[in-house]
């Protein structure tokens, strides 16, 4: 199927906006939510698997992917599991218009998250969007606005927000359990599937991939073959787009956005007024652009700070057995994720508060879709946006190579080169995600 022309896209957008008026389905207790998952080479496959396991709540009524091999395989797998094949779409703009779809889940590359969310909101659909919800700062503002303007439920894919231990512990931190938090720290040193990705050369996209729709918001660029990895369709496709600024946000905006979200959640100061970031893509010989080692610091109006570290080459076990983590340092003690609260003599501080309700991310999403209440979401679109902005700020400071002063009200810097990175300089015509 060919991508829609600008004229037919605008026409379909008008239909979508009109559709908003009609999209007021009130779910009865026995009604199942009709889901369309968009993009499922990797994480979208987990969405589908999880949702198939909640058949009382929801049904996969449609699937959309621009890779026909990925699409055909999943349509057939879901059809066998559900006893009814979902409708198959290549183009998300058509998928969101399907009247059987009430909500969509998005697990495409980062540069199309906001676009698909905004188009879906306009079509009157609720959205579960993978992290980060935006590819740049401006896009995040459009996503927040779209959720509000079209009265849609939009949940961000940082699942730690649904973790009941973290919900309790972040609440305690907010109440002053370790005094006033002055330093919040996030760290990622995942290196299991992080390595040199190879070198590219211009080539023809495979006939099973719609390269125009894959590029989405990005203007046309040549499809790049991978000279060193014949097992991959190309240099960017699939997954390795994370390491190119045009499509991804590097590790700080990949695994990092999970820990950044927790760092911002506990620190709870909104946006910073200063950011500095340094590092490099060390040891690897490849075409990837984003750093595999990056240290970033944020300073807030009240002088408090967040620091964030990425080390894809590995590290010692500083995250209590994991390969990513968070710690918070207050005036009276500190908190380490997975370990708990301590005073400054390193003595554990007992917690007597009970754990809140244990619900996973899908339970929370479905509950909010039914109730129409933003309070039922584990994180509001705005708070999720704030966390994503931190990742973007870190990358902007890294890319310009100097310390930056940032105005949280206008979302601009005093630095003109940095301001050029607040929004993509050029969007594909008809694919600009304006709420």
Which of 37, 41, 105, 387 binds ligand NAD (CB under 6 A)? It is 41
Cβ neighbours of 427 (radius 10 Å): 17
In angstroms, the Cα distances linking 77 to 63, 70, 100, 137, 431 are: 11, 11, 20, 37, 31
Minimum CB separation of residue 146 from ligand NAD in Å reads: 17
Which of 62, 101, 107, 396 binds ligand NAD (CB under 6 A)? It is 107
Using CB under 6 A as the binding rule, whether residue 167 contacts ligand NAD is answered as no
Using CB under 6 A as the binding rule, whether residue 254 contacts ligand NAD is answered as yes
Using CB under 6 A as the binding rule, whether residue 384 contacts ligand NAD is answered as no
Using CB under 6 A as the binding rule, whether residue 239 contacts ligand NAD is answered as yes
Using CB under 6 A as the binding rule, whether residue 39 contacts ligand NAD is answered as yes
Q: How far apart are CA 209 and CA 203, in angstroms?
A: 13
The position carrying tokens 């998005």 is 106
**Binding segment (CB under 6 A) for ligand NAD, from list 39-47, 76-84, 185-193, 371-379:** 39-47
Q: How long a stretch of residues is the chain?
A: 435
Using CB under 6 A as the binding rule, whether residue 3 contacts ligand NAD is answered as no
* Cα radius of gyration rounded to whole Å, the chain: 22
Q: Residue 279 — left, alpha, or beta (φ > 0 → left; ψ -120 to 50 → alpha)?
A: left
In angstroms, the Cα distances linking 97 to 72, 119, 122, 377 are: 20, 10, 10, 24
Which of 12, 37, 105, 108 binds ligand NAD (CB under 6 A)? It is 108
Give the binding-site size for ligand NAD (rule: CB under 6 A): 28
Minimum CB separation of residue 176 from ligand NAD in Å reads: 31
Residue nearest ligand NAD, Cβ-based = 42
Binders of ligand NAD among residues 115 to 154 (CB under 6 A) are: 130-131
Using CB under 6 A as the binding rule, whether residue 97 contacts ligand NAD is answered as no
Minimum CB separation of residue 343 from ligand NAD in Å reads: 33
Burial class (CB in 10 A: 0-12, 13-18, 19+), 410: exposed
Structure tokens at 327: 């710690």
Biggest distance spanned by C-alpha atoms of the chain:
67
Helix (H, G, I), strand (E, B) or coil at 407: strand
Which of 12, 112, 327, 395 binds ligand NAD (CB under 6 A)? It is 112
* H or E stretch at 381: helix 381-400
Which of 16, 66, 275, 384 binds ligand NAD (CB under 6 A)? It is 66
Using CB under 6 A as the binding rule, whether residue 160 contacts ligand NAD is answered as no
Q: How far apart are CA 48 and CA 65, in angstroms?
A: 13
> Contact positions toward ligand NAD, by CB under 6 A?
38-44, 64-67, 70, 92, 107-110, 112, 130-131, 157, 159, 213-214, 216, 238-239, 254
């Amino acid at each position: 199927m060919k991508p829609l022309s600008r004229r037919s896209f605008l026409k379909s957008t008008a239909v979508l906006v009109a559709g908003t008026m009609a999209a007021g389905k009130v779910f009865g207790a026995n009604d199942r939510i009709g889901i369309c998952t968009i993009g499922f080479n990797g994480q979208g496959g987990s969405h589908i698997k999880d949702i198939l396991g909640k058949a009382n709540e929801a049904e996969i009524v449609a699937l959309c992917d621009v890779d026909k091999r990925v699409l055909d395989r999943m349509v057939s797998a879901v059809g066998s599991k559900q006893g009814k094949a979902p409708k198959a779409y290549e183009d998300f703009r058509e998928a969101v218009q399907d009247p059987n779809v009430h909500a969509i889940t998005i697990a495409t590359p980062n540069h199309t998250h906001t676009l698909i969310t905004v188009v879906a909101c306009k079509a009157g659909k609720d959205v579960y969007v993978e992290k980060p919800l935006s590819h740049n700062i401006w896009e995040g503002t459009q996503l927040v606005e779209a959720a509000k303007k079209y009265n849609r439920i939009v949940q961000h894919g940082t699942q730690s927000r649904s973790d009941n231990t973290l919900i309790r512990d972040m609440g305690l931190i907010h109440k002053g359990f370790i005094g006033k938090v002055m330093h919040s720290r996030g760290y990622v040193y995942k290196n299991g599937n992080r390595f040199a990705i190879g070198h590219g050369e211009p080539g023809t996209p495979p006939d099973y991939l719609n390269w125009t729709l894959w590029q989405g918001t990005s203007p046309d660029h040549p499809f790049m073959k991978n000279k060193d990895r014949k097992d991959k369709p190309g240099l960017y496709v699939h997954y390795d787009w994370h390491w190119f600024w045009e499509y991804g946000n590097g590790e700080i905006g990949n695994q990092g956005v999970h820990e950044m979200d927790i760092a911002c959640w506990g620190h709870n100061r909104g946006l910073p007024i200063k950011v500095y970031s340094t590092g490099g893509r060390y040891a690897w010989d490849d075409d990837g652009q984003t750093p595999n080692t990056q240290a970033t610091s944020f300073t807030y109006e009240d002088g408090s700070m967040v620091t964030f570290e990425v080390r894809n080459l590995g590290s010692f076990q500083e995250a209590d057995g994991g390969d990513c983590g968070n710690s918070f340092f207050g005036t009276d003690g500190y908190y380490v994720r997975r370990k708990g609260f301590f005073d400054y003599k390193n003595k554990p501080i007992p917690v007597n508060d009970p754990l809140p309700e244990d619900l996973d991310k899908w339970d929370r999403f479905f509950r909010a879709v039914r109730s129409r209440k933003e309070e039922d979401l584990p994180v509001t679109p705005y708070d999720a946006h704030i966390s994503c902005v931190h990742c973007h700020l870190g990358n902007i400071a890294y890319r310009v190579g100097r310390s930056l002063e940032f105005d949280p009200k206008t979302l601009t810097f005093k630095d003109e080169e940095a301001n050029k990175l607040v929004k993509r300089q050029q969007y594909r015509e008809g694919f600009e995600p304006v709420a």
